[in-house]
């Protein structure tokens, strides 16, 4: 063997000696990859963000001009409370913001797992020390962070804005509990929409089918359930509609009836529905990921 051949031969495999991530942080790589891929382009993520910002500005204007407009609201203890229309706009904002988040769920989240299945991405993930739990946490975390600016941050900012317009220190102190309530509702709503959208991608290997299925679940199934609930005068039944459950949750947590729309389901029914959807959706995602790991393949 010549000296040149020997030199080339010596440039062969060398053991990796760089830094390594701990097992507990590998899901964060999946989160960052999901966020970076979603940020590319205009219509997939940036356009819904712009729509959500316009919605927030519109609600903020409505809050400003209606901050002194009063109405009588039935309180949980059977009495009546004097509320402003602005008070009603805070919990109802989750319903408005859900339409912006729907675009993200349809264009990004609903087909995320099915695209990985179709592209054989699970072969890449599981050929490395990535556990099924890491993948699920990564996808859920990425979906949560994509929806949080719309469903958690924007309503929270509106709540702060509303408290700043009270003009009465006693009234402001009295309604400070709205801040943690806003965070609680935002967290549950964001997690519910993220997990349900991802679950449709876990049900089928075809991205287009996942998108159509999620759209039909939100729009068609939700409309049918709401129509039956209205026709039978059974507001609790409407909690099966995810959007109606969000309405009932926000109305119940803030203890404010909405001025617009039909009667919302109770807080208990809405909370059971949302937690049920979260549990079933995460279970479906785990089932699909574990099945792909056992099969040792991801293509379809």
Structure tokens at 16: 């990796």
Give the pLDDT confidence score for residue 151 in this predicted structure: 96
Is 6 part of any domain?
A: no
Q: How many Å apart are CA 104 and CA 150, to the nearest integer?
A: 10
> Would 1 be classed as within a structural domain?
no
DSSP line for the chain: --HHHHHHHTTS-----S----GGGTHHHHHHHHHHHHHSSSTTTHHHHHHHHHHHHHHHHHHHHTTT-EEEEE-TTSSEEEEEHHHHHHHHHHHHHHHHHHHHIIIIITTHHHHHHHHTHHHHHHTTT--HHHHHHHHHHHHHHHHHIIIIIHHHHHHHHHHHT---HHHHHHTTTHHHHHHHHHHHHHHHHHHHHHHHHHH-S-HHHHHHHHHIIIIIIHHHHHHHHHHTT-GGGGGGSHHHHHHHHHHHHHT---SSSSPPPPHHHHHHHHHHHHHHHHHHHHHHHHHHHHHT--B-
Q: What is the pLDDT of residue 260?
A: 54
What total number of domains does the chain contain? 1
Render each residue's pLDDT in the chain as its tens digit; 300 residues.
555 555 555 555 565 555 566 666 778 888 998 999 888 877 789 999 999 999 999 999 988 887 766 544 444 444 444 467 777 888 889 999 999 999 999 999 999 999 988 887 777 776 667 788 888 999 999 999 999 999 999 999 999 998 888 767 776 777 788 999 999 999 999 999 999 999 999 999 899 999 999 999 999 999 999 999 988 888 899 999 999 999 999 989 988 876 555 568 999 999 999 999 999 999 999 999 888 877 764 444
Q: Which domain holds residue 236?
A: 21-295
Residue 283 lies in a domain: yes
The two three-digit tokens of residue 300, written as one number: 């379809």
Contact 144, 191 (CB under 8 A): yes
Block residue for tokens 């054989």: 120
Q: Could you tell me if residue 271 is inside a domain?
A: yes
Distance separating alpha carbons of residues 238 and 245, to the nearest angstrom: 7
What token pair was written down for 170?
Answer: 């006693």
Q: Rounded distance, CA 288 to CA 286, Å?
A: 6
For the chain, state the CA radius of gyration: 24
Please choose, from the candidates 150, 149, 124, the residue with its C-alpha nearest in 3D space to the C-alpha of residue 30: 124
CA dist 70 and 234 (Å) reads 29
Q: CA triplet 178, 181, 182: central angle to 5 degrees?
A: 85
Q: What is the pLDDT of residue 79?
A: 40
Q: Is residue 215 in a domain?
A: yes
How confident is the model at residue 78, as a pLDDT? Answer: 43
pLDDT score for 47: 92
User: What gap in Å lies between CA 231 and CA 209, rounded to an integer?
Assistant: 31
Q: Look at residue 75 and tell me if it is in a domain.
A: yes
The answer as to whether 27 is a domain residue is: yes
- Enter the pTM of the model: 0.84
């Amino acid at each position: 063997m010549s000296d040149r051949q020997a030199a080339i031969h010596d440039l062969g495999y060398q053991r990796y000696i760089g830094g390594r991530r701990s097992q507990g942080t590998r899901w964060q790589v999946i989160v960052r990859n999901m966020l970076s891929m979603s940020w590319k382009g205009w219509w997939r993520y940036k356009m819904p963000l712009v729509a959500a910002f316009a919605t927030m500005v519109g609600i903020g204007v409505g809050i400003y001009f209606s901050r002194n407009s009063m109405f009588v609201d039935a309180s949980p203890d059977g009495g009546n409370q004097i509320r402003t229309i602005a008070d009603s706009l805070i919990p109802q904002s989750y319903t408005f913001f859900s339409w912006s988040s729907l675009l993200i769920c349809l264009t990004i989240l609903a087909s995320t797992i099915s695209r990985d299945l179709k592209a054989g991405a699970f072969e890449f993930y599981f050929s490395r020390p990535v556990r099924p739990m890491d993948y699920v946490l990564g996808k859920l975390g990425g979906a949560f962070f994509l929806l949080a600016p719309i469903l958690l941050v924007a309503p929270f900012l509106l709540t702060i804005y509303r408290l700043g317009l009270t003009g009465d220190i006693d009234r402001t102190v009295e309604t400070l509990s709205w801040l943690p309530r806003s965070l609680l509702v935002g967290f549950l709503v964001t997690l519910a929409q993220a997990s349900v959208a991802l679950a449709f991608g876990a049900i089928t290997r075809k991205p287009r089918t996942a998108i159509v299925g999620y759209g039909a679940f939100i729009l068609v199934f939700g409309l049918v359930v709401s129509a039956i609930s209205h026709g039978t005068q059974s507001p609790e039944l409407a909690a099966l509609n995810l959007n109606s459950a969000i309405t009932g949750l926000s109305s119940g947590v803030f203890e404010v009836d909405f001025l617009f729309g039909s009667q919302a389901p109770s807080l208990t029914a809405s909370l059971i529905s949302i937690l049920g959807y979260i549990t079933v959706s995460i279970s479906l995602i785990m089932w699909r990921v574990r099945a792909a790991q056992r099969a040792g393949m991801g293509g379809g």
